[in-house]
Amino acid sequence: MSTNSEFAVFSGTCSRYLAEKICQHLGCPLGNLNITKFSDGEFAVSYEESIRGKVVFLVQSTFPNSDNLMELLLMIDAAKRASAKSIVAVIPYFGWARQDRKDKPRVSIGAKLVADLLSVAGINRLITMDLHADQIQGFFDVPVDHLYASAVHLPYIQSLNLGENLVIASPDVGGSKRANTYSKYLNAPLVLCNKHREKPNEVAHMQIIGNVKGKDVVIIDDMVDTAGTITKAADIMKEAGAKSVRAMASHCVMSGPASERVQNSALEEMVFTDSIPYSNRCAKVKQLSIAALFAETIRRVMSNESISNQYLV
């Protein structure tokens, strides 16, 4: 796609690596945006080129810390005040989304709060991928293009040529719907893990529902944070006789002891997309780029084409 004066792509600080790859696929330059940081941690955003009358795409994953979200909010506000025709937030990883409902008294619903912040700031559209819960789309009153990492994950699984030995697994019952779509597409058996937590980020007990003996298992999840669940599932499956165990997840949160846990686990490899940058290198971690997927979605939004045929499942 050649440079188009009708739209412009800009990026926040921590998602620039991805925005640059998206622009390469689009054949356009990354827009010139200046973020001035003050000594107390406050920062200000300014566009260094005219965006009057343009459709502005703002690429920024909102993973912690909160500076990434605040940068995006200021980018939206600055674009609105600079007379952009419309503002599209491109958020490959939609952070603060694990609080998506009131599951006990006196708790916040962070996903709804972030949706409200983005709406008040002035977005006209949201492009995101693999939300922690699909119903978060309903928190917005603007169009939401919800993409799926399966577009890059499924071809990778097929490239492994595991044949009839392939088994798809979910690390918990909550992820069974996602894993089931992979299972149906690949015509492979589905195995579930039933886990019990006593506190956040710590699995107390886990059991396998299904047969993995002699099988090549691929565990599917939406994100990996401390890697406690995914590595415990891999270790239990290996103990149950699995020939090999791999894991694939959309978002590489990988906080705290995650890298060490993955490295020391029974996992042969841990495959993510590049929706979040990963700096704590682990020999078992591999990242697949979603730049082409997002670039094609941007192209289709600009040409008013359907994006649904990008979905493999």
| Enzyme catalytic residues | 195
Cα–chain-centroid distance for residue 182? 17
φ, ψ of residue 13 in degrees (nearest 5): -60, -50
**Rounded CA gap, 275 and 131, in Å?**
12
**Rounded CA gap, 133 and 175, in Å?**
10
**Rounded CA gap, 68 and 12, in Å?**
7
| CA-CA-CA-CA torsion sign (140, 144, 150, 153) | negative
**Rounded CA gap, 17 and 276, in Å?**
10
How many residues belong to the chain?
313
Token reading at 195? 């886990």
Contacts of 23 (CB under 8 A, 6+ apart): 9, 29, 30, 295
Token reading at 269? 């490899």
Token reading at 11? 């990026």
Token reading at 192? 């579930």
* Contact between residue 262 and residue 227 where contact means Cβ atoms under 8 Å apart: yes
- Cα-Cα-Cα-Cα torsion 173, 179, 181, 183, nearest 10 degrees, comes to -120
**Rounded CA gap, 116 and 255, in Å?**
27
- Cα-Cα-Cα-Cα torsion 176, 182, 187, 190, nearest 10 degrees, comes to -20
Query: From start to end of 2-124, where are the E strands?
Result: 7-11, 33-37, 43-47, 55-59, 86-91
